[in-house]
Structure 1
Amino acid sequence: MRKLAWIMTVLLLASVMLTACEEALTLSGKAKKVRLGVFKNVTHAAAYIALEKGYFRQAWGEEVDIEVTAFDNGSDLSIAMATGDIDIGFVGPGPATTFYLKSQNYRVVSGSNNGGAVLVARNGAGINSVKDLVDKTIAIPSKGNTNEISLRMLLQQEKLGVGKGTDNAHLIVRAPSDALISFRQQEIDATLVPEPWGTQIEKAGLGKVVVDWQGIPPNHGDYPTVIMVASDTFIQKHRDMVKGAIKANMEAIVYIQSSPDQAYDLINNQLKKYSGKGMDKSLIKASLSRLKLTTDVDVKVMEEMAKVSIDARYIKGINKEELDLHTFVDLSMLEEVKSRK
Structure 2
Amino acid sequence: MKKGLLFFSILLAFAGLLAGCGSSSATNAEGVVEKVTIGYFPNINHVPAMVAKAEGYYQEQLGEDIEIEYKTFPDGAAFMTALKTGEIEAGLVGPGPAMNNYTTGTDVNIIAGGSTGGTVILARDGSGIETAEDLAGKTFVTPRVGCTHDVQFETYMKEELGMTSQRIGGEMIHTTGPPAQYQAMFETEKVDVAVAPEPWASVLQQETGAKVIINSTEVSWGTTLPASVLVASGELIESNPDLIQKIVNAHKDATAFIAENPEEAKTITINDIKEETGQELSKEVIDRSWENIGFTYEVDADAVQAFGDSSYDLKFLKEQPDFSDLIDTQFID
- Tell me if TM exceeds 0.5: yes
Count of paired positions: 305
| Residue number in structure 1 paired with 2:66 | 64
CA–CA separation in structure 2 for the residues paired with 1:182 and 1:166 = 25
| Residue number in structure 1 paired with 2:6 | none
Alignment of 1:190-209 (within 5 A): 190-209=193-212
Deviates more, 1:159-168 or 1:192-201: 159-168
**The residue matched to 2:112 in structure 1 has which SS?**
strand
| Residue number in structure 1 paired with 2:162 | 159
TM-aligned CA deviation for residue 285 of structure 1:
2.2
TM-aligned CA deviation for residue 307 of structure 1:
2.3
Contact preservation (8 Å) 1:55, 1:252: yes
Contact preservation (8 Å) 2:183, 2:208: no
Contact preservation (8 Å) 2:168, 2:315: no
Note closer, same or farther for the CA distance 1:188–1:236 as it changes in structure 2 (3 Å cut).
Answer: same
State the AA in 1 paired with 2:46.
H
Higher share of residues assigned helix: 1
**The residue matched to 1:250 in structure 2 has which SS?**
helix
CA–CA separation in structure 1 for the residues paired with 2:83 and 2:142 = 22
CA–CA separation in structure 2 for the residues paired with 1:183 and 1:250 = 37
Structure 2 runs not aligned, ≥5 long? 1-27
**The residue matched to 1:257 in structure 2 has which SS?**
helix
State the AA in 1 paired with 2:229.
I
Q: Is 2:166 the counterpart of 1:168? A: no
| Residue number in structure 1 paired with 2:106 | 104
CA RMSD of aligned residues (A): 2.0
Q: Is 2:233 the counterpart of 1:234? A: no
CA–CA separation in structure 2 for the residues paired with 1:262 and 1:167 = 45
**The residue matched to 2:82 in structure 1 has which SS?**
helix
TM-aligned CA deviation for residue 159 of structure 1:
0.8
Q: TM-score scaled by structure 1?
A: 0.84
Structure 1 runs not aligned, ≥5 long? 1-20, 336-341
Q: TM-score scaled by structure 2?
A: 0.86
Show CA shifts across 1:233-276 (max 9, x none): 22123212211121111111221121111222222232233334
Contact preservation (8 Å) 1:75, 1:96: no
TM-aligned CA deviation for residue 206 of structure 1:
3.3
CA–CA separation in structure 1 for the residues paired with 2:254 and 2:168 = 46
| Residue number in structure 2 paired with 1:141 | 143
CA–CA separation in structure 2 for the residues paired with 1:244 and 1:166 = 47
Percent sequence identity over matched residues?
A: 26
Show CA shifts across 1:25-65 (max 9, x none): 74xxxx21112111122221111001100111111001111
| Residue number in structure 1 paired with 2:324 | 326
TM-aligned CA deviation for residue 304 of structure 1:
1.6
State the AA in 1 paired with 2:220.
P
Deviates more, 1:114-123 or 1:262-271: 262-271
Contact preservation (8 Å) 2:168, 2:314: no
